[in-house]
Amino acid sequence: MLNQLRYFLAVVKYHNFTEAAEVCHISQSAISQQIKALEQDLGVQLLSRQGRSFEMTAAGEMFYQRGL
């Protein structure tokens, strides 16, 4: 779960899955899968996805603040 947290923080920081994946040295699909797995583990949706963009949900905002 520690890597998933790191990936989530990177996605939020760069506001881009591809750039976050490059920084984390994993593929874009892998980072996306890890974020989905994190959401499943926590039982909440952290990111609201709209096509290629996303916004943090209220739960995502709280999780982000605690993850810093």
Q: What is the band of 1 on the pLDDT scale with cuts at 50, 70, 90?
A: confident
Percent of the chain's residues with pLDDT above 70: 99
Q: What is the band of 33 on the pLDDT scale with cuts at 50, 70, 90?
A: very high
Tally of domains within the chain: 1
Q: What is the pLDDT at residue 21?
A: 97
- What is the average pLDDT score of the chain? 95
Q: Which domain holds residue 28?
A: 1-67
Q: What is the CATH number of the domain that holds 17?
A: 1.10.10.10
3-state secondary structure the chain: CHHHHHHHHHHHHHCCHHHHHHHHCCCHHHHHHHHHHHHHHHCCCCEEEECCEEEECHHHHHHHHHHC
Strands (E), 1-68: 47-50, 53-56
Residue 29: φ, ψ to 5°: -65, -35
Q: What is the pTM of this model?
A: 0.90
